[in-house]
Structure 1
Amino acid sequence: MAKQRLSVVVTRRLPEPVEARLSELFDVRLREDETQMPRAELIEAVKTADVIVTNLNDKIDHEILANAGPQLKLIANYGAGVDHIEVDDAREKGILVTNTPGVMTEDTADMAMALVLAVTRRIPEGLAQMERGKWEGWSPSAMLGGRIGGRKLGILGMGRIGQAVARRAKAFGMEVHYHNRRRLHAGIEERFEATYWESLDQMLARMDVVSINCPHTPATYHLVNARRLKLMKPDAVIVNTSRGEVIDEAALALALKANEIGGAGLDVYEGGDEMAAELRSLGNVVMLPHMGSATMECRIEMGEKVMLNIRTFEDGHKPPDRVLPEML
C-alpha cells in the first residue's frame, strides 16, 4: 500500500519551479492568485493540514495555533525571520517551526550596499530628474553627494548578513565597525579589519553610516530609538534591510525632518500606510518594497530549503533548519 502523502498548505504564491516541485512531492494546496491567504482561511487550513508553508505576512499567533488540529506538526516558514510566529506556543503544541536561513545572505547584503550608495550619492533624485526631463546638463555643483570610501560603517548585527555587508564595505574602502551580542572571533575581525564596540551608543555616535542587520526579537525591538538617533552625527546615514521594528519609525521620521541625521535607506518597515506616506514625503529617504531577497535564485533556494525541511520531517528525522527557543 502506497504511503499517504503529507497534506501541505501554502499561504502565498511561490516561484513556479518551487510550486511544481512541491506538487510532485506532496498533496499540496497552492494559492490561485497573488494575494495573501485570508486569516479565516488560514484558521481552516491549520485544522486539517499536516504542514503549513507560511511567510512573513502570516501572523501565526495564539488564536491560529489554538485552532490547529492534532495532525499539524510542522510550520515550514518561507523566509528566515520568524517574529510573526509564536514559536513557544507552537512548541507547546508539539509543532516544529523551520525557516530558510543562509540563502538570502548575499542578496540582502547587496541591497544594503545599494541603499548606502543610493542615499549618499542621491541616485533616486538623479533618476527622478531624468524621468521628469529636468536635466539641464552637467554642472560642477549639481547633485553633489558624498564619497563612501574612508567613511566609518557601523554594522548592527554581525551575523551572516552583517559579515557579507562588511566584506562589500571593505572593498569600497570603508572602515568597518560593529556591535553584536557577542564579540566575534579575532580571526573574523582581522579578515574585515573590523572594530568591535561593546557599547551601541558609543558606536552610533561615531559612525558615518549605520547598517542594521540584526533580527527582530523582544531584545531588538526599537533598539534604535529616539535617544539613540540623537546620538548620531547630523550627516550620518542609516540603512535597514533586516526588520522594520528594530527602528522606532516615528522617531526616525522626526529626526529626518529636523535634519538631525543625514538620510535613511529602508527596505523594511514597522508602521502602516500612514507612516510610510510620511517617510515617502521626505527628500532624504530612499524606500524600497522589501526587495532584499528578491532575486529568482534566492527565492528558489528558499523554496528548496522549505522542501528539504518538509521531506526530512516526513522521513521521521529532525529538519535541519529547526527554530529553537534559544535562537530567538
Structure 2
Amino acid sequence: MRKKVVVFSQIDSEILSRLQAQYEVVQISPKLGDVNTQIQTAVQDADGMIGAGRLLNASNLSAAKQLKIISSVSVGYDNYDVNYLNSHHIWLAHTPHVLTETTADLAFTLLMSAARQVPALDQWTKQGEWKRTVGEAQFGQGIFGKTLGIIGLGNIGTAIARRGFHGFNMNILYHNRHEKLELAQALSAQYRSLNELLQQSDFVVVAVDLNDDSKELIGVEEFAQMQKHAVFVNIARGSVINEQALIDTLKNNQIFAAGLDVYKKEPLQVSELFDLNNVVTLPHIGSATAETRQQMAELAYRNLVDVLEGRTPRYLVNPQFS
C-alpha cells in the first residue's frame, strides 16, 4: 500500500507531480469546502503533510493516527503547534537558508522605497500631479552613509547588514538575544540595547523570529524612541510589532515612513495602513521569486521523502525524535 501525503496548500507543480508518482496524494483546497474539515478527514490515515500558510494544531490534527512528518515550505513555523507535535512524536521540518538572500533583497527594497516615497510618488506622477519641479513634500531620506539598526542578527539580518555595509557604506548597529562578536566584527557592527538602537538609527529593520519573547517587541514606547526622520521596516512577522501603535506613529508623523511585508492578519484586505501615504505595504513576498520558491519546494520535498523512506531529514524544527 502506498503511503499517503496531504498537500495542505498550493505547492510547486513539478514537486506535486513527483509526489503523485510516489504516493497517494490528497490536496486540500478552499474550493472544496471548509479547509479544517478537509484536513481533519484527510489526516486520519496520512503519513506525511507538506505545504505552508495553514494553522495546524490539535483542532485539525487530532484525528491523525500515523502522521510522521509535516514538511513546511517556509522558514518560520509559528503556524504550527510545536508542543502538540512533540507530544505526538510528529516531526516538523522547514526550509532555512535558501530564502536568506531573497528576503534580504526585499528588506532593502522596502527600505529604499519607503525612504524615497517611491509608491506615493509613482502614483503622484501617474495622476498628473507633476506639473513643476518637485518641492519638499516629495523629498525623501538619503541612505548612503546613514546608520542602519537591525533587530535580529540571524541569517537574514546578517545578509541585510552586508548590503548596508558594503553597498551603502552604512554604520551598522544590531540588537540580538546574544552578542555575535565574530560576525559583527566583519561588518564593523556594534551591539546596542533595543532602546539605544531605536534612538540612534536612521533606518530600523526587524528580522527576528516570532516567539514568546518577540511578540509585540515593538510597541508604543519603542516607536516613541525613534527619530522623526527614521524609516521602519518589518520583514519578520506581523505579531512582532503592535500594528495599531505603528499606524498611530505614522498618522502623527512621529517617524518618516515604514515598509511592511508582514502583518498580524494575513491576507490583509482592510486596514488603516492603506489610507496612509507614508507606508509601503507588500503582500508577504519576502521569498517570492521563482528561483527561491523552487528551491524551498525542493528542500521541503526532500525533508518529507526522507522521513517517509525511513531517513532523518536535515532541517528539523524538533530533532529530538531522531
TM range (shorter): over 0.9
The correspondence for 1:286, drawn from 256, 277, 280, is 280
Q: Deviations over 1:165-200 (max 9, x none)?
A: 0111111121111111111132x2122111112x21
Deviation at 1:100, TM superposition (A): 0.8
Q: Is it true that 1:117 corresponds to 2:112 in the alignment?
A: yes
Match of 2:180?
184
**Matched residue of 1:126: which SS?**
helix
Deviation at 1:305, TM superposition (A): 0.9
- Unpaired runs of 5+ in structure 1? none
- Unpaired runs of 5+ in structure 2? none
- Report the residue type matching 1:12 in the other structure: S
The correspondence for 2:241, drawn from 243, 247, 253, is 247
Q: Is it true that 1:48 corresponds to 2:42 in the alignment?
A: no
Question: How far apart in 1 are the matches of 2:287 and 2:42?
Answer: 27
Preserved CA contact (<8 Å) 2:98 2:296: yes
Question: How far apart in 2 are the matches of 1:144 and 1:35?
Answer: 50
Q: Is it true that 1:18 corresponds to 2:15 in the alignment?
A: yes
Question: How far apart in 1 are the matches of 2:319 and 2:153?
Answer: 20
Q: Is it true that 1:9 corresponds to 2:6 in the alignment?
A: yes
CA 1:191–1:274: 2 relative to 1, 3 Å: closer
Preserved CA contact (<8 Å) 2:50 2:304: no
Q: Deviations over 1:215-268 (max 9, x none)?
A: 111110000111111111122111011100000001111111111122110000
Instruction: Work out which structure has the larger RCO, using CA pairs closer than 8 Å and 6 or more positions apart in sequence.
Output: 2
Match of 1:160?
155
Q: Deviations over 1:76-98 (max 9, x none)?
A: 11111111100111111111111
**Matched residue of 2:255: which SS?**
coil
- Report the residue type matching 1:93 in the other structure: H
Match of 1:204?
198
Instruction: Give % identity.
Output: 34
1:197-276 → structure 2 map (5 Å cutoff): 197=192, 199-271=193-265, 276=270
- Report the residue type matching 2:304 in the other structure: I
Q: Which deviates more from structure 2 when the two are superposed, residues 17-26 or residues 143-152?
A: 17-26
Structure 1 residue runs of 4 or more that deviate by more than 3 Å after TM superposition: 30-37, 137-142, 271-276
Deviation at 1:35, TM superposition (A): 8.9
Preserved CA contact (<8 Å) 1:62 1:89: yes
TM-score by structure 2 length?
Answer: 0.92
Q: Deviations over 1:23-62 (max 9, x none)?
A: 2333222356889971111111221211111312x11122
- Report the residue type matching 1:62 in the other structure: A
Q: Is it true that 1:93 corresponds to 2:88 in the alignment?
A: yes
Match of 1:73?
68
Question: How far apart in 2 are the matches of 1:119 and 1:229?
Answer: 17
Match of 2:79?
84
Preserved CA contact (<8 Å) 1:11 1:36: no
Question: How far apart in 2 are the matches of 1:26 and 1:275?
Answer: 37
**Matched residue of 1:28: which SS?**
strand
Q: Deviations over 1:82-123 (max 9, x none)?
A: 111001111111111111111111111000000000011111
CA-based RMSD: 2.2
TM-score by structure 1 length?
Answer: 0.91
Question: How far apart in 2 are the matches of 1:251 and 1:268?
Answer: 15
Question: How far apart in 1 are the matches of 2:135 and 2:77?
Answer: 48
Preserved CA contact (<8 Å) 1:12 1:36: no
Deviation at 1:162, TM superposition (A): 0.4
Q: How many residues align?
A: 319
- Report the residue type matching 1:320 in the other structure: R
The correspondence for 1:296, drawn from 290, 297, 301, is 290
**Matched residue of 2:6: which SS?**
strand
Deviation at 1:135, TM superposition (A): 2.4
Question: How far apart in 2 are the matches of 1:191 and 1:86?
Answer: 37
Deviation at 1:138, TM superposition (A): 4.2
